[in-house]
Structure 1
Amino acid sequence: MTSIGGAEMVDWNLAVATATRLVRPGPEVSRDEARAVVAELRRHAKASERHVRGFTGLGTDEAHDTPVLVVDRPGWVRANVAGFREVLRPLLEKMQERRGSTPGGAVLGAVGGKVTGVELGMLLSFLASRVLGQYETFAPATRDLPAGANGGGRLLLVAPNIVHVERELDVQPHDFRLWVCLHEETHRTQFTAVPWLRDHLEGEIQSFLEETDVDPMTILERIREAAQSLAGGRPEGEEGDEGGRSIVELVQTPAQREVLGRLTAVMSLLEGHADFVMDGVGPDVVPSVEEIREKFQQRRAKGASRLDTALRKLLGLDAKLRQYRDGERFVRAVVEQVGMEGFNRVWTSPNTLPTKAEIAAPAEWIARVHRKPEA
């Protein structure tokens, strides 16, 4: 990123170093156990590709070129920092130009970039112990973070977190690992089988960022609030304050509200589709799927602690939980009415994606996309 005064708005290297230093250690496993987990996750990811293709009717040979990376928590941090840095580049350059025109902007930037790097690292250290898997699509390809040959992303499976949760839930490890892979493989299939999806999402994100007119200190304050929560520094009772806002709630204009509504609908579709596929394939290939699903839903709903609940609200993770639920209901209702082939019309173009209102009212999407042309 082009710097003004030699300083960036965010010290990305410091963010990675901070998160790596603060992230909780993973569960205790021997070297042989770790190797066995990695090997099994790779096998399950490969098997899941076949299962997901067969169930959804989606899939291309490009999926074979998309890497599956079994990573630890620091590896997840590095991949996401690379993705954030790429996606946020236009916004941070805009903020940096504004900062450079203010008296002392370069000096403040040198300090602010490091402060923000530390605080972002604190947030990532919190999230790094909670993510089981992810299809990362925005980070540029590097030797340590390879990507698909045609510009696709990579599938990340966070091995220590998968082992931690399977032990916490007291479920059959082999079944749980395959169950997780089914969900994450669905995301990989979505992006590899729908070639316009990545560019569409990136375009929507950039449209949102282009409309952003937020003073840099406002954004830094949002990050600071989250970091203070992580350290237990928020005032007692503030977690339940209805006036509190999540970091993602920086919408300032009607145009941004429209973009955010479309992004929410797309993410609800992607997450709900993955849950639907996971439940649809699961009974045939995961013997203990009912037990796993029940225990995992309970864990997903209640969170780990009071602090965890506060952070989920501040980071917007409660909204993500609603996306799983609402999106799965949409997919299920559409498939019940028009079948899987009829549902797959959703992937035809950006115009056939559901709106936020249609996610809540699947019949409206069916009527719009499946309506017969007038004679």
Structure 2
Amino acid sequence: MSSTPSNNDDETPKDPLQEMLANLMGGQGMEGFDPAELAKAAGLPSDPNALAQMFSQVQAMMNSSSDTPVNWDLAHDAARKAAAGDDPSVTPHQQREVDEALRLAEMWLDPFTDLAATAIIGRAWSRAEWVEETLGTWKRLTEPVANSIAFAISTAMNDHLPEEMKSMMGGAASMMQNMGGALFGLQLGQAVGALSKEVLGSTDIGIPLADLQMALLPSNIKEFGEGLEIPEQEIRLFLALREAAHARLFVQVPWLRGHLLGAIESYARGIHIDMSRIEDLAQNLDPSNPEAMQAALSEGVFMPARTPEQDAALAKLETALALVEGWVDEVTFAAAANLPAAAALRETVRRRRATGGPAEHAFGSLVGLELRPRRLREAAALWASLKDLRGIAGRDAIWAHPDLLPTSADLDDAAGFSARRSAEDASELDVDAALAKLLDGGFEDFQTDSTTDGEAKTNDGEPGPGADGTEGTGGTDGAGGKD
């Protein structure tokens, strides 16, 4: 290291690694440092190229402060960078095309659902705009598991540092505690940025990532249509129908968004981190290869096998996602009957949602959750059965309350659910009728038939003992009296 004396006013010596990190994180970078001496002091490899690459990533991960265990600023920057490649701005022409498609979709949907139109203005987004509009929801969905991973990584790294390294760390230990959160933020941002290249709208993964928004991504729609041999206008209109159907459902069923996001958050909070894997990684971590930690995160090596409770929670979540996607699938296909390629597009979207793209898999590995409706076809069949038996209004009335929603078992027996639902409705009608009769005068009739003023009737209709045990009043003329 350079022999330049410290410029501290009190000439109090600093821990050498603390001073190096402070200068590095303060924006001076590698300037003024001899890489070979730096490597020697920190016990790192002496290859200047490896050092430069390592400290470049460390600086990116630790340069900005964060008040939370996860560095969300870094996640945002990473997402924007990942989305930036080949992301042209939306042109006025594309905005008009999307707006017209969504307006037409709203008109086409009207006869096929009892849920009213939303009056939301349709938008055309670039990938970067999708990131900006949805990152807040991604943060809400991933924060529970993100905090757990960040804490576990920082704890494991600190526990497995050599004693001589700990003494060198001194006041720089707080910087190192941000490493886990920074690493997770970086990986999350990269996953969200990659997803921005695959999604087609604001609700493409089955949940409303942007509250009260209705949008399509023209550049992604163009790539989606490559090889399908279907006119782009027809593809855009079909996807607009799906987006508008999602919007109606989430706007007109106000409890649904919170129901889904709450279920996801509950599942994420139940994820526990496999500390043994983190400890093993910390023991074998090569400081010259910071990509190793990122690779471990992206491969989900910290995620243990799910518990039975988590399996049950995941089954409920997947059922809810399937019901949303099944309803949208059924309504969209009915409204798209005039499109020549409606059946082909429906099947393409179904397969796409069932399998997920590479970015969706990467995100699932990172947080231990894949937001895919595995039972979409069964759910669509159930909604179709309900429409046949109950009509459009009766089918859509199921969304009135979460307690009315079909269960996973109901997806196995759509006809049986319809029959059970009809029987329950009939029973509820009987109860309602009895209650209405009681309120409309039945209670008065009951009072007439019952005793008043302490009187009681015997089985033959004659006056019996009163409430006080004496003989009741009698007499054929109604005047009654004691003999």
| Both structures adopt the same fold (TM-score exceeding 0.5) | yes
Specify which of 372, 383, 390 is matched with residue 320 of structure 1: 372
Specify which of 243, 257, 264 is matched with residue 198 of structure 1: 257
Q: Does 1:134 align with 2:202?
A: yes
1:180 — aligned with what? 239
Structure 1 stretch displaced more, 90-99 or 267-276: 90-99
Tell me by how many angstroms 1:155 deviates. 2.0
Specify which of 78, 102, 115 is matched with residue 45 of structure 1: 102
2:410 — aligned with what? 358
* Distance of aligned partners of 1:76 and 1:319 in 2 relative to their CA distance in 1, 3 Å threshold: closer
Aligned length: 335
1:343 — aligned with what? 395
Q: How does 1:22-101 map to 2 (within 5 A)?
A: 22-23=82-83, 25-26=85-86, 34-59=91-116, 63-64=118-119, 66-89=120-143
Tell me by how many angstroms 1:246 deviates. 11
For 1:187, give the aligned amino acid: H
1:16 — aligned with what? 76
Q: Is the 8 A contact 1:44 1:177 kept in 2?
A: yes
Q: Is the 8 A contact 1:73 1:158 kept in 2?
A: yes
Q: Deviations over 1:242-267 (max 9, x none)?
A: xx9997x874452x433322221111
Q: Is the 8 A contact 1:20 1:77 kept in 2?
A: yes
Counterpart Cα distance in 1 of 2:293 and 2:395: 39
For 1:351, give the aligned amino acid: D
Counterpart Cα distance in 2 of 1:35 and 1:51: 24
Q: Is the 8 A contact 2:191 2:362 kept in 1?
A: no
Question: Identity of paired residues, percent?
Answer: 24
Counterpart Cα distance in 2 of 1:177 and 1:340: 26
* Distance of aligned partners of 1:359 and 1:107 in 2 relative to their CA distance in 1, 3 Å threshold: farther
* Distance of aligned partners of 1:296 and 1:98 in 2 relative to their CA distance in 1, 3 Å threshold: closer
Q: Deviations over 1:317-375 (max 9, x none)?
A: 98725243332222223323333223223212010011122123223432332212186
* Distance of aligned partners of 1:299 and 1:113 in 2 relative to their CA distance in 1, 3 Å threshold: closer
2:452 — aligned with what? none
Q: How does 1:167-316 map to 2 (within 5 A)?
A: 167-214=226-273, 228=295, 251-252=306-307, 254=309, 256-284=310-338, 286-293=339-346, 311=362, 314=365
Tell me by how many angstroms 1:269 deviates. 0.6
Tell me by how many angstroms 1:177 deviates. 0.5
- TM-score, normalized by length of structure 1? 0.72
Counterpart Cα distance in 1 of 2:151 and 2:360: 36
2:190 — aligned with what? 122
Tell me by how many angstroms 1:106 deviates. 4.5
2:162 — aligned with what? none
Tell me by how many angstroms 1:282 deviates. 0.7
Specify which of 372, 379, 383 is matched with residue 331 of structure 1: 383
- TM-score, normalized by length of structure 2? 0.58
Counterpart Cα distance in 1 of 2:364 and 2:267: 21
1:145 — aligned with what? none
> Structure 1 stretches of 5 or more lacking a match?
140-151, 235-243
> Structure 2 stretches of 5 or more lacking a match?
1-64, 160-172, 282-290, 431-483
For 2:185, give the aligned amino acid: G
2:178 — aligned with what? 110
Q: Is the 8 A contact 1:268 1:324 kept in 2?
A: yes
SS at match of 1:171: coil
2:20 — aligned with what? none
* Distance of aligned partners of 1:230 and 1:170 in 2 relative to their CA distance in 1, 3 Å threshold: farther
Counterpart Cα distance in 2 of 1:78 and 1:355: 35
SS at match of 1:154: coil
Counterpart Cα distance in 2 of 1:125 and 1:328: 31
Tell me by how many angstroms 1:169 deviates. 1.9
* Distance of aligned partners of 1:215 and 1:301 in 2 relative to their CA distance in 1, 3 Å threshold: closer
> Which gives a bigger RCO, structure 1 or 2 (Cα 8 Å, sep 6+)?
1
Tell me by how many angstroms 1:185 deviates. 0.8
Tell me by how many angstroms 1:23 deviates. 3.5
For 1:279, give the aligned amino acid: F
Q: Is the 8 A contact 2:321 2:373 kept in 1?
A: no
| Higher Rg | 2
* Distance of aligned partners of 1:69 and 1:230 in 2 relative to their CA distance in 1, 3 Å threshold: farther
Q: Deviations over 1:293-336 (max 9, x none)?
A: 455567667878xx789759847898725243332222223323
* Distance of aligned partners of 1:265 and 1:45 in 2 relative to their CA distance in 1, 3 Å threshold: same
Tell me by how many angstroms 1:154 deviates. 1.4
Q: Deviations over 1:88-112 (max 9, x none)?
A: 4566567778889997884444112
For 2:328, give the aligned amino acid: A
* Distance of aligned partners of 1:177 and 1:217 in 2 relative to their CA distance in 1, 3 Å threshold: farther
Two-structure CA RMSD over aligned residues (Å): 4.2
Q: Is the 8 A contact 1:226 1:314 kept in 2?
A: no
SS at match of 1:322: coil
Tell me by how many angstroms 1:56 deviates. 0.9
Counterpart Cα distance in 2 of 1:318 and 1:288: 29
Q: Is the 8 A contact 1:12 1:81 kept in 2?
A: no
* Distance of aligned partners of 1:317 and 1:41 in 2 relative to their CA distance in 1, 3 Å threshold: farther
Counterpart Cα distance in 1 of 2:349 and 2:138: 28
* Distance of aligned partners of 1:101 and 1:204 in 2 relative to their CA distance in 1, 3 Å threshold: same
